[in-house]
Amino acid sequence: MASFRFRIKTTVEGLAARTGIISTPHGKILTPCFVPCATQAAVKGLTPAQAEDTGSQILMVNTYHTFLRPGIEVIRKFGGLHKFMGWNKPIMTDSGGFQVMSLGKQGQATVHDEHTIFHSGHNNLKHTFTPELSIQLQEVLGADITFAFDECTPLDFSRAQTEESLLRTHSWAERSLAAKTRKDQALYGIVQGGRFKELREKSAEFIAARKFQGFGIGSLFGEPKREFRDVLRWSMSGLPKDKPVHLLGIGAVEDLFTGVAAGVDTFDCVTPTRYGRLGYVLSSACGNKQKWRYRITKQGFKDDTKPLDKNCECTVCKMWSRAYIHHLFRANELLAYTLTSYHNIYFLHELMQNMRGAIECGTFSKLRKQWMG
């Protein structure tokens, strides 16, 4: 079985942007690329075949969610996620760290230095999560790329709170590494540090010094765009260039350009599928140059015979009209979610493919300018 490897193909003069190839036991990934979320071992609304058709090279599955349901023993019985969900390409698994924050905000998680206690909504059970458990679970899940258990620090945390949280993330990073037993899985360490320059740099330095095969950058959403750029730069400055970097939870068009320019190799984000369910269509021709999206549920599309995106080559855009998809949403037909999610994922993969092409042709800055103005 092939082991994990990262090879840089092309770099861009004056920028950190690069193309590369991540090799994993389940195949290669051309970077930079977008990673759709399959949180509960499914890309919401799509079959694995459809996910592959959109251009997906790798999926992100969540450890905490699959631990709660169906439970790790079920997946163990199948020999891992790949066989369980019928996806033979690479998989990465989130460590459950994000849920420390997202559930914590709802009072469903309490963080301690040693562990985190989750109060499950499913059945009122309490679950104690530790870095060791997260790694153990991820090894059973069998992902090609795994993440250290971290604490996603809310951006409104004070300097003192952020520092305390960061110490925990670092301690958990070391414990995650120590708990690792499988050699065929890559383990990424995660850089945190909230919105503080010194803490981000300190975190990057700390994580870079450990034996991780790659790095994740955490907690970058919700920032004003200017800060986003800065925080990303601080987070990456101390990381070695020869290892892959994943930007966790980011997928807005502008952020993808910013990330790639800064040298990020992979991105995961829920927006294409979440937007798909909310009736938002990603489009390069929608007139909204901030968000690159519009709402198909609006009245105006009721009898619109045009495709979702006139510039898009995806199956949905070739086969169906805005009027039809508008109708599916109005009628609450499940196909609405499938078609819109399919298109949205295709849109992001297409964008990333264009970025890869542009980097290799030396026209990345031009492409970015075309999109961002």
> Is 113 in the active site?
no
Identify the residue among 337, 346, 347, 364 touching RNA (CB under 7 A): 337
Identify the residue among 22, 85, 190, 328 touching RNA (CB under 7 A): 190
Q: 58, 11, 17, 63: which is closest to 39 by C-alpha?
A: 63
Q: Is 265 in the site for RNA (CB under 7 A)?
A: no
**Burial class of residue 309, CB neighbours in 10 A (0-12, 13-18, 19+):** buried
Helix (H) or strand (E) holding 20: strand 18-24
Q: Are strands 126-129 and 145-147 parallel, antiparallel or unpaired?
A: unpaired
Is-contact 205 238, C-beta < 8 A? yes
Strand partners, 246: 216, 266
- Stretch near RNA under the rule CB under 7 A, chosen from 9-17, 39-47, 229-237, 365-373: 39-47
Q: Is 150 in the site for RNA (CB under 7 A)?
A: yes
> Is 94 in the active site?
yes
Q: Is 244 in the site for RNA (CB under 7 A)?
A: no
Spatial strand order of the sheet with 18-24 comes to 5-11, 18-24, 27-31
Identify the residue among 28, 182, 291, 327 touching RNA (CB under 7 A): 291
The minimum distance between CB 313 and RNA, in angstroms, equals 22
- Stretch near RNA under the rule CB under 7 A, chosen from 91-99, 201-209, 237-245, 304-312: 91-99
What string of H, E and C letters represents the secondary structure of 76-100?
HHCCCHHHHHCCCCCEEEECCHHHH
Nearer to RNA, 193 or 363 (CB): 193
Identify the residue among 54, 56, 66, 99 touching RNA (CB under 7 A): 99
| CA–CA–CA angle 146, 216, 142 (5° rounding) | 10
Separation of alpha carbons 326 and 44, rounded Å: 19
Just list the catalytic residues. Answer: 94, 268
> Which residues of the chain form contacts with RNA (CB under 7 A)?
36-37, 39, 43-44, 60, 62, 65, 94-95, 97-99, 101-102, 147, 150, 152, 190, 192, 216, 218-222, 248-252, 255, 268-271, 273-274, 277-278, 291, 295, 297-300, 330, 332, 334, 337
